[in-house]
Each structure stands twice: as C-alpha cells, then as structure tokens.
Amino acid sequence: MNDLQLFSGNKVMLQSKKCRETICIVHADNTCPNDRIRMNRVVRNNLRVRSSDIVSIQGLQDVQFCKRIYVLPIDDTVQGITGNLLKAYLEPYFAEADRLVHEGDVFIVHAAMHAIEFKVIETKPSPYCIVTSRTIIRCGSDPIKREEEEVSLNEIGYDDIGGVRKQLVQIKEMVELPLKHPQLFKTIGVKPLRNILLYGPTGHSLIARAVANEIGAFFFLINGLEIVSKSAGESESNLRKTFEEAEKNSPAIIFIDKLDAIAPKREKTHGEVERPIVSQLLTLIDGLKQRSNVIVMAATRQRNLIDPAVRHFGCFDREIDIGIPNAVDRLEILRIHTKNMKLDGDVNLEQISNETHGYVGADLASLCSEAALQQIREKKHVIDLEEHTIDAEVLNSLVITQENFRFALNQSNAPALREIAVEVPTTTWEDIGCSDHVKRQLQQLVEYPFQHPEKFLEFGTTPSRGVFLYGPPGCGKTLLAKAIANECQANFISINVLELLSIWTGEPEANVRDVFDKARQAAPCILFLDELDLIAHDESGRYGGDAAHRVANQILIEMDGMSAKKNVFIIGATIGWDIIHPIFFKTGRFDHLIIIPLPDEQSRLTIFRVCLKNSPIAEDVDFHYLVNKTNKFTGSDC
C-alpha cells in the first residue's frame, strides 16, 4: 500500500486481465504478502478472476455521488419472496452506509433471513459512483435469469483454453498489440498485420471469443454456411451489415467460421452465389481503415479448400495451424475441464493424456462428461428418481474415478482423426516372429529419433524420415510397423496405395496431402504405406496411369517438405526393392532398406505359440515338429 500511496479507506479501481472493472475500498492487512490482495467472492466474480490471477490497482481521487441507480434482482434468489424489494431490502441496505457501485456489478443484500443478489444495470453518473441515502433507487420487476448471468460470469478467457500456448502468442501479437498499442507501429512506420486465418480440426471459435473477451472487444460471428443464402445479393448485404456494425462498435473482432463455405476454391464452386460473396468479402476487408480497430479472424478445417484470392497478403496476413494437441497439451486441457469436477485420488490425468492420442479439446470435454455420467450410472441403484430431491449422502458419494475414465475411453474415439484410421497399436515384439537384427534396425531408425531427438541435434545430424520394408507377402511387414509404433507409443496410420488410386477419386494429390496433414497432426506418428510398389514402380503408369504418377510425386513432395521436428516417420512396404524407381531412395526419403525374410525356425515357433495361445491344445501337439515341417512358410502360411 505504501508503494501505491494508498491508505485504509481509500477508494480504488480494480481491473482484471479481461478488462473487467470494479471499485472497492482498501483496508490494510499486515498478514497479506506485498504482492497479494484479498478480496471476497462477490468482488472476484465481478472481476471474473480466480485465486492467483493478476489484477491492477489504481487509486481514485474524486468519486461522484450517485443521483440515480437502476438494479435488477437475480431470479433464483427471489423465489418465494413476496413484498416490496425496494422497501424491504434496497433502501435499508443503502441507508446503512454509503456504497460504491459499478455498472455490471452484482451485490448481495442480507435481510429477513434471505440473501438476495442484485445487478447494477445503470447509474448516473456512469459507470461508477457512490450510492447514498439521497440517491434515487429504482428496482425492476423482471428478474435476471441466473443462466444469463452465469454465461456472463463464465466468459471464456486465455486461462480457459489449453493446448494452444504457441498459437496464442502469435494471435496476441497480431490482435492485442494493434488494438491496445497502435502507437508502436506508427512509431516504427509499418502497418500492423491484422487479419488471421485459423485452420485445423476444432477450437477456432473458442480462441476468437477468448481473445475478444480478454481485450474487451465486441465479438461479431459470421457463420459461413448460414450467410451463403440462395438469394443473390442477400449474402453480400449480410456481410456489409456485419462489417458496418463492427466499425461502429470498435474495438471489435469479426470471426468468420467455415470460411471455405464463403470462399471455396474456384473449381469447387457450384453456384453463382459464391463468387460475388468472395468479391464483397475482399472489398470489405481491404476497406477496413487502420484506425477502425477492427480485426478479422476466420477459420477452416483445411486451408487448401480456400480460394487463393482470399489467402494473399493484405487479406489474411497470417495463417495459424490449430493442430491436434500432443500429450502435454492434452494434460493442460484435461486439467481445465476437470478443475470443477469431483475427482477421486486415483485419477491420473497424465496417464489419460498419454492414452488419448488424436483427441482435441472437444473430444476431451466429451470424455470428462462421459466419465461423470458413468459415475452417476454406478450410483443409480441408490438414487430415487421419483423424488424431487436427492439425498445429500448420495450426492456426497459421487466421486469420479479412474475406472470411470477408463470406461469413457473405451466408449469414445477421436472424431478429429476418424476419417483416416489412427491408432496406437497394441502389437508388441512378443506377438510376432521377428529376428533381433530386424528389431534392432527398426529401433535405431524409428525409435531413437522419437525418444532422443536432442542426440541428433548434439551431433548435427538429421535422422532418417523413411524406410522400405521389402520381402515376400505375408512375412509380417504390417505387424512390424505396428510393433515399432507401439514401442514408441506413437500414432499409427496405415494406408494401402490401392485406396489412393481407386477409392479416393478426383484429386489424388489433395488426398495424399490430407493423409500427410493427418499424420503431422497426430505426431508422433508412423505412416505406413502398403504396396507402395504399385505407384513407385519404374513402370507405375501401367497400374494407375497418370493418377499413379501424381500420387507418387505428391508423396515425394510431402516427404521433402517434412521437417524432422514434425515427429513423423514413413514406412513403405514392397515385395522387392529392385522394382522401385531410384528417385524414392534419395537422401531424406526412403534412404534405408530392411529385408523381411521368410521366418526362420525360432520365428516360426514364436508364430505358432502366439497364434495358438488362446486355443485349447492337446498334450501331444509338438510345436517343434510343426516348425520342422513348415520350412519356407511365410508368417501368414503358419
């Protein structure tokens, strides 16, 4: 207090990171650390802050007396109460002492064995003042619904979003700095980068709302699917109205969800409505004045679906990937979603985060809800559904356990990765007949870079990105790829090249890009390309014509553009390396070959034991006899 030159009884303005304000009277507390302040629950709720949040304090010299104040009660606090709220509660409350009030604040009045919450709707002067016994007090008769107040109370902020720390740093640079400190850019003589395109599975609108709430900006939502109407001219009019409203209410953020519906690639345009909308959107964005304090943010699942005209510099200046979170990010998201949940001591969020490869924030929220629902199901036998109330003892017994999360995990999968099957395989080395030499080679090529990337940086080398497994069909190339993925605890994507050529028609290059994008999002990930010789053959044209060449070229382009930091390893499978075009063996592509030979005696013995471990076996069955009789058999033959 000495540093701020404040004394007990002084009036101060408190402001949160989300630009929420309230006014209070300070009192000295010698037990409170110098870098901390104590505030009651009402003040915390008015500021939208929690314990350990940062708030700013500013002394107020002259706070005017209030001439008029208008308040409304919160509905669930006045249920069953009859009589005049003004006479019974408000007038005595303000007659007791002079009260500091701020528009938007909620205060509690205790009287007649009741606690009623009121919200300050309007004051004169605005936005804060001192209510005295001479103030004219008006109380509305239409209470505010608790749900509406809770929505306001629980506005999303940066602390409510997990797994996107790096992306938030970029977004804050582009949004907060131009809106809060435009003089920085004016001083150095450059225009700030203003508009942002977010791409990736989910979480875009949550981020945009959080940014708007944190900086106190108005938020305008444009849904791409809704705004594209059949009526020519109506869509452009809707866009113009939104941009006009945003400029009137600046600072503001315009968020365009599903931008690909408004501005699809030209070859994907089916009607005559889309093109004028694109032109109108470009005109409106270009027409935003630098001093208008309006930022445009847009979102799409895949940026390659967007018209290139919209992606040029000056329209959307930065493209930010909101990818699928990794294990650390998932743990952060889980902690946010479970902060108000009643968890048992055995719940291990770190273990859950490690087992939810490919899950995004919405998936993890659904997982937590399913776990809570499972706990309720388990207690259903002691809950009397006919009663209006549930016994307090039953409510106290509701505790979400690790087993509830285990059940939820078994019931769910990650929708963000559902289009292309992504899994963490359960196959282990013990499940396959594999020579130690092959196992050691795969560990050196795949596992070591995943688990010890710092060693490669230390020695200034780049780890391999791909390997060819070659050998007769049925020798376990797919199982080997799954086993090494299991050992690395990496996601596993298996694609048969025939699928690229036959099922996914239309744009083979785009399909390959989607597969590699999914692998990057699911990193650490092993991408297994089976029967790659069908397109990597010296004469691949005879298998798929031009499409085969295009798929092969796109695979090579994706591999060349794959950074070692992406934690994606590609395993190709073929029956023979000598039929593969030499261009695939260039350094940085498939620069290693591992032969997967026919299983030897020990491998065949392992295969027999694994295949028959769950089958009833007669005592006279001799595995060694079977091994001797199956020379030159493949694993699938055994």
| pLDDT tens figures, 599-611 | 777 777 877 877 7
Q: What is the pLDDT of residue 96?
A: 92
Task: Give the pLDDT confidence of 159-196 residue by residue, as tens digits.
Answer: 788 888 888 888 888 888 887 777 888 888 888 877 89
- Rounded to two decimals, the pTM is 0.61
Query: Quick check: helix, strand or coil at residue 219?
Result: strand
* pLDDT, average across residues 438-450: 87
* pLDDT, average across residues 560-567: 73
Q: What is the pLDDT of residue 503?
A: 46
Q: Does CATH place domain 158-321 in 3.40.50.150?
A: no
Give the tokens for residue 569.
């390893």
Query: Quick check: helix, strand or coil at residue 463?
Result: coil
Residue 143 carries which DSSP code?
P
Distance CA 82, CA 394 (A): 33
Ranking 88-92, 416-420, 616-620 by mean pLDDT, the lowest is 416-420
Residue 88 carries which DSSP code?
I
Question: Side chain identity at 297, as an amino acid letter?
Answer: M
Give the tokens for residue 613.
């471990």
Pick from 16, 100, 1: which is nearest to 59 by CA?
1
Report residue 92's pLDDT band, with 50, 70 and 90 as the boundaries. Answer: very high
Nearby residues of 86 by Cβ (< 8 Å), 6 or more positions away: 137, 138, 139
Output Rg (C-alpha) for the chain, integer angstroms.
32
Query: Quick check: helix, strand or coil at residue 619?
Result: coil
Pick from 250, 256, 183, 245: which is nearest to 217 by CA?
250
Q: What is the pLDDT of residue 541?
A: 43
Give 620 or 405, the one with higher predicted confidence. Answer: 405
The 10 Å Cβ neighbour count of residue 20 is: 21
Phi, psi of 178, deg, nearest 5: -65, -35
Distance CA 356, CA 413 (A): 8
Report residue 587's pLDDT band, with 50, 70 and 90 as the boundaries. Answer: confident
| Range ranked top by mean pLDDT from 22-31, 93-102, 440-449 | 93-102
Distance CA 295, CA 288 (A): 9
Is the pLDDT score of 540 beyond 70?
no
Q: How many residues does the chain have?
A: 638
Residue 63 carries which DSSP code?
P
Using N-to-C axis directions, what is the helix angle for 508-521 and 541-560, rounded to 10°?
Answer: 40
The 10 Å Cβ neighbour count of residue 597 is: 14
Residue 264 carries which DSSP code?
B
Q: What is the pLDDT of residue 13?
A: 93
The angle at the Cα of 325, spanning 322 to 328, to the nearest 5 degrees, equals 135
Q: What is the pLDDT of residue 127?
A: 92
Q: Are 512 and 297 in contact (CB under 8 A)?
A: no
Mean pLDDT of the chain: 83
Give 313 or 564, the one with higher predicted confidence. Answer: 313
342 sits in the region (left: phi over 0; alpha: psi -120 to 50; else beta) called: beta
Question: Side chain identity at 16, as an amino acid letter?
Answer: S
Distance CA 284, CA 315 (A): 10
Is the pLDDT score of 271 beyond 80?
no
The CATH number of 327-417 is 1.10.8.60
* pLDDT, average across residues 104-127: 91
Distance CA 329, CA 335 (A): 10
Is the pLDDT score of 132 beyond 60?
yes
Q: What is the pLDDT of residue 505?
A: 47
Phi, psi of 492, deg, nearest 5: -135, 125
Nearby residues of 410 by Cβ (< 8 Å), 6 or more positions away: none
Report residue 562's pLDDT band, with 50, 70 and 90 as the boundaries. Answer: confident
Shared fold status for 158-321 and 327-417: no
Q: Are 334 and 291 in contact (CB under 8 A)?
A: no
- Enumerate the domain spans of the chain: 11-39+47-60, 68-146, 158-321, 327-417, 422-595
The CATH number of 422-595 is 3.40.50.300
Dihedral angle over CA of 22, 26, 31, 37, nearest 10: 20
Give 478 or 418, the one with higher predicted confidence. Answer: 478
The CATH number of 68-146 is 3.10.330.10
Report residue 296's pLDDT band, with 50, 70 and 90 as the boundaries. Answer: very high
Question: Side chain identity at 150, as an amino acid letter?
Answer: E
Residue 549 carries which DSSP code?
H
Q: Give the strand pairing for 318-321 and 196-199.
A: parallel
Q: What is the pLDDT of residue 475?
A: 82
* pLDDT, average across residues 17-41: 85
- Measured CA distances, 484 to 405, 442, 450, 477, 592 (Å): 27, 7, 11, 11, 16
Report residue 153's pLDDT band, with 50, 70 and 90 as the boundaries. Answer: low
The 10 Å Cβ neighbour count of residue 486 is: 19
Strands (E), 439-589: 466-470, 491-496, 525-530, 568-574
Distance CA 478, CA 497 (A): 14
* pLDDT, average across residues 388-395: 78
Report residue 229's pLDDT band, with 50, 70 and 90 as the boundaries. Answer: low
Is it true that the peptide bond before 182 is cis, omega within 30 degrees of 0?
no
332, containing H or E segment: helix 327-337
